[in-house]
A and B are shown apart, each in its own frame.
Chain A
Amino acid sequence: MNSGLVMYEEEFRLIAGICDRLTRDANAKVVFLVDKNGQLIASSGAAQNLDTTSLASLTAGNVAAMGGLAKLIGEKEFPNQFHEGEKESLHMSIVGGRVVLVVIFDAKSSLGLVRLRVKKAGEELAKVFDVLAKKQATPGAQSPFAEITDDDIDNLFSE
């Protein structure tokens, strides 16, 4: 079975820092980072009024569907996507082949600025995810769930 993504405190802080900075530098409303499988990794900016779980799942679905389209026309993927709304727009960018960086912005920013800042933040994030991947691949990096018992699992389902 494929091993899942594991996020540690240290890397999470780095990632959150990069997202916060991107929100400021790009004049964005919200920035969030999603695993390609639809799990929300981090969010920054005015995310509290947003259903970030749904956003994450739909982002992954969208990126996967666009990836499927890309392959049909002979492209590997579409690393950057832009969706323009009446007031708010959405920029998605694939980072390190594994995660999706999403920026939501309005008229206070511009596509050019967002693109520029996303490029820099994307490079920084890719480095952090490289470190994470190495950490996870280290022999002895044990599942935190190795010690749970069948009772722990059963207790979850007792009414």
Chain B
Amino acid sequence: MSFINYSSREINCKIVYYGPGLCGKTTNLQYVYAKTNPEAKGKMISLATETERTLFFDFLPLSLGEIRGFKTRFHLYTVPGQVFYDASRKLILKGVDGVVFVADSQIERMEANMESIENLRVNLAEQGYDLNKIPYVIQYNKRDLPNIATVDELHRLMNPRNVPEYQAVAPTGVGVFDTLKAVAKLVLTELKKGG
């Protein structure tokens, strides 16, 4: 749910990175954080377990510049991927403006991907959102690994809505900013329609 502030001439939007455990959601945010100018970013917060699995969420505030005199700010969040953190995932989807689904391209993770998309659909619906309507992009991550499914196959399984999709290798940044830009654009386009 965007927040438009006429007083400070700011617009704030919330983007959530969703996906199965260990698919690279946090790595996406870490790359964005590492490659963004200090003046355009705030502090990155990671609420993680001792083994660096996301426990509650990661948070990264980003400024993208101005549109018609309004500063545009994006708040990027990740959810914990592990199945048993479902209660936390639901909370983080509150007020979301756009979703990035980070899929793990490895063949053995296909079931986990599908389960996570279904979980996303259900949790969004609980908040009153429809996965078929909300600004949404898909990232096929880990394209550098050996045992991966083809993009055609991933598309067929995960992208019936035909939303923008990107191949990525998050640790080296391949596809990371393309994904972010795509979802940010969709969110702004939605706002233009009147949100």
Binding site for B on A (CB under 8 A): 1-9, 12-13, 35-39, 41, 51, 53-54, 57-58, 60-61, 64-65, 67-68, 142-148, 150, 152-154, 156-157
Contact = CB atoms under 8 A, between A and B. Distances in A.
**Interface residues of B: mostly helix, strand, loop or mixed?**
mixed
B3 A5 contact: yes
Given A64-B91, A64-B94, A57 B59 contact: yes
Contact of A9 (B1, B7, B12, B14): B7
Nearest to B3: A39
B70 A54 contact: no
B143 interface: no
Contacts, number: 139
A54 B59 contact: yes
A81 to B, nearest CB: 15
Interface of B: 1-8, 11-12, 14, 42-43, 45, 47, 56-57, 59, 61, 64-65, 67-68, 70, 72, 75, 87-88, 90-92, 94-95, 97, 128-129, 133-134, 181, 184-185, 188-195
Contacts of A61: 47, 56-57, 91-92
B129 A7 contact: no
Contacts of B6: 6-9, 12, 144
A57 to B, nearest CB: 5
Contacts of B1: 2-5, 37
A37 B95 contact: yes
A3 B128 CA distance: 11
Contact of A53 (B7, B61, B88): B61
Given A38-B75, A53-B42, A53-B61, A12 B2 contact: no
A4 B56 contact: no
Contacts of B184: 156-157
Contacts of B70: 144-145
A2 B90 CA distance: 16
